Structure 1
Amino acid sequence: MNKTDRLLAIVLELQRKEVVRAEDLATRFETSVRTIYRDIQALSEAGVPIIGAPGTGYSLMEGYFLPPISFTVQEAVSLLMGTDFIEQRFDDDYRVRAQAARGKIEVILPESVRNETSRVRKAIRLLISDKQVTPSKEKEYLEKIRRAILDERKISFHYVKKLADFDGNRHSVRTVSPYGLVLVQGSWMLVARCELRQDIRHFRLSRMTEFIALEERFERPAHFNLREYTPSDDRHLRVRLRFNQDIADKVKESNNHYIEDMEEHQDGLHVVLRVRQLDELLRWVLGWGADVIVLEPESFRNRIREEAQKMLKRY
């Protein structure tokens, strides 16, 4: 990044945040703190009203706004593709807002950039398969949860787990404090503190029913940041499979969430997965038929054998 681009980026960073430290700016732009000091001085001399407090950081004088800036073709395409994605994957409220934002962006673009952007977008298409389209019920819950997160209000819903608990039960009623929403492999997940489990849990919106937005409020922990949040990994069971070479490409394209490692061997594709319960992989492995064999653990080999025998009896 050259100096001119960095100076503009520093002003944008100051405009986004109330206070920014020189050390953070140096890390952000991969340069030295001394260089940041010189950049701040250059901006001040150019008339940008920057306030510096020793030991605290820099901030812009209240009321100062950077004049409208222009977009390159690549930046405009990125923004417009982003509105396409939001329109397809978010709730109806954001769909309307994405359409409005797209219109505003297109209006402010210079004609030359607008024409080139249109030409590039005709060669790029964001296509979501029918299987990935967010169902209307899930979109409805998405909007309600989003509002509950912003209003800091608790929610309640009936939830169906993928696999049964140790007591054999899959159904439960949950009251939670919603912290955030995450789109994982095409499915919306709610990250929330569950009163039943007294801990942070993850819930698929597609498995929710009888959703209720409650009046009771909650206070999000000051230390919680969804962008920095890393869920604990409790997948302690290791499974190793061998696939026939002629379906190796299909296995790689399956994007199974539990896959940890893949390695090509002369006898086929070796795949290592980690799960919480072996039944999480049962149907997926059976779906590959005779083109896969379980190498370990032995208990899972036996489980597949038992299921195959049950299938044979049906035919």
Structure 2
Amino acid sequence: MNKTDRLLAIVLELQGRRVVRAEDLASLFETSVRTIYRDIQALSEAGVPIIGAPGMGYSLMEGYFLPPVSFTVEEAVTLLIGTDFIEQRFDDDYCARAKSARRKIEAILSESVRNETSRIRQALRLLAPGKPVTRSKERKYFEKIRLAILEERKIRFHYSKGITDSMGDHHSERTVAPYGLVLVEGSWMLVAYCDLRQAIRHFHVSRMTGLAELEERFERPADFNLSEYQPSDDRHLRVHLRFDYDVADKVKKSNNHFIEDMEEHQEGLDVILRVRQPADLVQWVLSWGANVSVVEPESLRNRIYEEAEKMLKRC
């Protein structure tokens, strides 16, 4: 990074934070503290109102704001693709804001950058996963859940797990305190405290029906941080599957989140997965037909055999 770029980056860093130490700036821009001192002096001489607090760091005088800056073609493309993504995956409110942001970004671009940015974007396309009906419901529920999170209100919904869990539930009504939304493999997942289970649980938004916002409020724990949250892993059952070479490439592209390891050999593709219970994989294994065999555990092999017998009887 040259000096001009670093000076601009320092101002942007000060603009986004209240107080920044010279040591932190040096670490961020991979330079010496002495260089940062010289940069701060140069900015002050150029008229940038930087306040230095001994022992604390530097800050900008209140009310100072850097005028709009120019974007490179790559930066403009990155921002515009970001607005495309938000328009596809967020609710109508954020969709409108994304369109507004895109217009503002395009308005401040020079003609040459705007033309080059347009040319590059025409060669890129985002395809939203899932069926249109599913995406439409996710967008509608996303907005309700987002508002409930911000207003700290509980929500209630009917939930389908897709499989019967260890407690015998397939469909159930849940009342939860929503903590946050996470985009996982193209689908929105709600992280929430479930009143029924008395613990934090995860819910696929696409599996919810009858979502309703309640008047009951909640207070999110002070020590809960969504960006640092790591769910406990209770997937203790190891599964070993062997696939024919004919479907090996498709298996590798399936992105099944239970997969831990893969290895090709003369007999085919061996896949190691870790799940909570055999039922977690039954439908997925059956979808590969005769191109897969269960090496272990025997409990899953028996479950597949039982399901295949039921299918045969219905034919």
Which TM-score applies when normalising by structure 1? 0.91
Name the stretch that deviates more: 1-10 or 184-193.
1-10
Secondary structure of the residue aligned to 1:158 is: strand
Q: Which residue identity lines up with residue 162 of structure 1 in the other structure?
A: G
Give, in whole Å, the separation in 1 of the partners of 2:199 and 2:30: 38
Say what the alpha-carbon RMSD is for the aligned residues.
Answer: 2.2
Cα offset, 1:77, TM superposition: 0.8
Contact between 2:129 and 2:186, CA under 8 Å: does it hold in 1? no
Cα offset, 1:37, TM superposition: 4.4
Q: Residue 79 of structure 2 corresponds to which residue in structure 1?
A: 79
Q: Which residue identity lines up with residue 190 of structure 2 in the other structure?
A: L
Q: Which residue identity lines up with residue 174 of structure 2 in the other structure?
A: R
- Output one character per residue of 1:134-160: Cα deviation in whole Å (capped at 9) or x when no partner: 533322211111112222222222222
Give, in whole Å, the separation in 2 of the partners of 1:46 and 1:216: 54
Matches within 5 A, 1:301-312: 301-312=301-312
Q: Which residue identity lines up with residue 228 of structure 1 in the other structure?
A: E
Q: Residue 215 of structure 2 corresponds to which residue in structure 1?
A: 215
Contact between 1:179 and 1:193, CA under 8 Å: does it hold in 2? yes
Q: Which residue identity lines up with residue 289 of structure 2 in the other structure?
A: G
Q: Residue 150 of structure 1 corresponds to which residue in structure 2?
A: 150
- Output one character per residue of 1:65-114: Cα deviation in whole Å (capped at 9) or x when no partner: 11110011111111111111111111111111111111111111111111
Count of aligned positions: 315
Secondary structure of the residue aligned to 1:156 is: strand
Contact between 1:141 and 1:211, CA under 8 Å: does it hold in 2? yes
Give, in whole Å, the separation in 2 of the partners of 1:190 and 1:228: 15
Q: Residue 164 of structure 1 corresponds to which residue in structure 2?
A: 164
Name the stretch that deviates more: 159-168 or 87-96.
159-168
Q: Residue 109 of structure 1 corresponds to which residue in structure 2?
A: 109
Q: Residue 194 of structure 1 corresponds to which residue in structure 2?
A: 194
Which TM-score applies when normalising by structure 2? 0.91
Secondary structure of the residue aligned to 1:135 is: helix
Name the stretch that deviates more: 295-304 or 72-81.
295-304
Q: Residue 227 of structure 1 corresponds to which residue in structure 2?
A: 227
Secondary structure of the residue aligned to 1:305 is: helix
Q: Residue 204 of structure 1 corresponds to which residue in structure 2?
A: 204
**What are structure 2's unaligned runs of at least 5 residues?**
none
Secondary structure of the residue aligned to 2:178 is: strand
Cα offset, 1:249, TM superposition: 0.7
Name the stretch that deviates more: 210-219 or 21-30.
21-30
CA pair 56-202 structure 1, distance change in 2 beyond 3 A: farther
Contact between 1:88 and 1:133, CA under 8 Å: does it hold in 2? no
Cα offset, 1:306, TM superposition: 2.4
Q: What fraction of aligned residue pairs are identical, expressed as a percent?
A: 76
**What are structure 1's unaligned runs of at least 5 residues?**
none
Name the stretch that deviates more: 265-274 or 50-59.
50-59
Q: Residue 287 of structure 2 corresponds to which residue in structure 1?
A: 287
Q: Which residue identity lines up with residue 114 of structure 2 in the other structure?
A: R
| 1:269 and 2:269 aligned | yes
Cα offset, 1:130, TM superposition: 5.3
Give, in whole Å, the separation in 1 of the partners of 2:99 and 2:303: 51
Q: Which residue identity lines up with residue 289 of structure 1 in the other structure?
A: G
